[in-house]
Amino acid sequence: MKVFINKRIPEIGINMLQEAGLQVIFPENENITPEEWLKYCQHTDVILNVGGDFKYDKVFFDACPDIKAIALYSVGFDHVDIKEANRRNIPVGNTPDVLSRATSDVAFLLMQSVARRASYNFQKVKDGNWNSFDPLHALGQELYGKTLGIFGLGRIGFQMAEKCKKAFDMEIIYHNRHRNEEAERELGAVYVSFDELVRNSDVLSVHANFTPEHKDLFNQEVFEKMSPNAIFINTARGGFHQEQDLYKALTEGKIWGAGLDVTNPEPMSADNPILELSNVCILPHIGSATIEARNGMAKLAAENLIAFSKGEEMPNCANPEVYFQHS
């Protein structure tokens, strides 16, 4: 069975695939165009997809009718039309859990960076503006006992909430599709409506799976309901926030600051005016960028394809319904 991998992943995953007898194909150069990507996909059986550059939708599946399975090198699967995959009986593997710690670490890092204006102060040092001690300049805020609001309390949200509870004894409120009983029991998390989440969070951190209904969910109307001392954190997907509205909220003092590991589009343009603001910290989608998480992702993606090649269910599948529809 041929596996096309559009970018190099840690060796552990490649070795596992090869040892299991799969033929691994890489593109000749790493940054292939959509046309080149499509050509590779037309000459393979299964795909190990790295990154969010390519969309797996009806147009793709029509152009590549022989694709039998996709293993994503990500937990997020917003770049796949799952309904189309289901219709064609194509399992789509993903990589949950192994990156929850690393991604929640980045949410925690952004929260503190914004609260203490770390990016702004670092830039001052780089610019040679480390002036004499000023008791009133660029003061941060402390997070002890404040309220953390989590939008999407799954695995990553849980770990963010746990860190905030342990480090700063923060109160946890959350809004989710389902109640998270473990978080309620272990962290004293309280389920609230979306409106209560927005109004009562001192830090609002987004951790949900992105779906089209979420597009621009955090917009002007929402930012206006937030506390002027609130910090908005997004490590999930850039599509969750409306960037011009966020910019406006940040410049008009509707919220205190924002920490983003995801933007829309990615990469963010270097001349984006939001980068000039003193109350933001923006990172280039590094949530899972640790050796441990990336090795774990490589292993899970390989396990998914190896299971598929043996006719077994993928151990981590974003659309397990493909298995039920035939059992």
- Where along the sequence are the contacts to ligand DGY (CB under 6 A)? 74-76, 99, 287-288
Of the residues 214, 285, 294, 303, only one is catalytic, namely 285
CA angle 188–192–194, rounded 5-degree value: 140
Asked if 285 is an active-site residue, the reply is yes
SS3 label, residue 39? helix
Of the residues 117, 175, 207, 237, only one is catalytic, namely 237
Least CB distance to ligand DGY at residue 199 (A)? 28
Q: What is the CA radius of gyration of the chain?
A: 21
Nearer to ligand DGY, 249 or 300 (CB): 300
Torsions phi, psi for 163 (to 5 deg)? -60, -45
Match 């929402």 to its residue by tokens.
222
How many CA atoms lie within 13 Å of 265's alpha carbon, on the beta-carbon side?
A: 5
Of the residues 266, 276, 292, 321, only one is catalytic, namely 266
How would you label 64-82 residue by residue, b for 16+ Cβ within 10 Å and e otherwise? beebebbbbbbbbbbbbbb
| Residues 138 and 260: beta-carbon distance below 8 Å | no
Nearer to ligand DGY, 10 or 140 (CB): 10
- Tokens at 171, concatenated: 């109160």
CA distance 61 to 116: 47
Least CB distance to ligand DGY at residue 227 (A)? 28
| Residues 281 and 112: beta-carbon distance below 8 Å | no
Least CB distance to ligand DGY at residue 18 (A)? 24
Asked if 196 is an active-site residue, the reply is no
SS3 label, residue 302? helix
In the complex, residue closest to ligand DGY by CB: 76
CA distance 47 to 56: 11
- Of 247, 259, 155, 251, nearest in space to 204 by CA: 259
Nearer to ligand DGY, 76 or 257 (CB): 76
Nearer to ligand DGY, 280 or 297 (CB): 297
Nearer to ligand DGY, 40 or 77 (CB): 77
Nearer to ligand DGY, 147 or 263 (CB): 263
Least CB distance to ligand DGY at residue 103 (A)? 7
| Residues 89 and 255: beta-carbon distance below 8 Å | no
Task: Please list the active-site residues.
Answer: 237, 266, 285
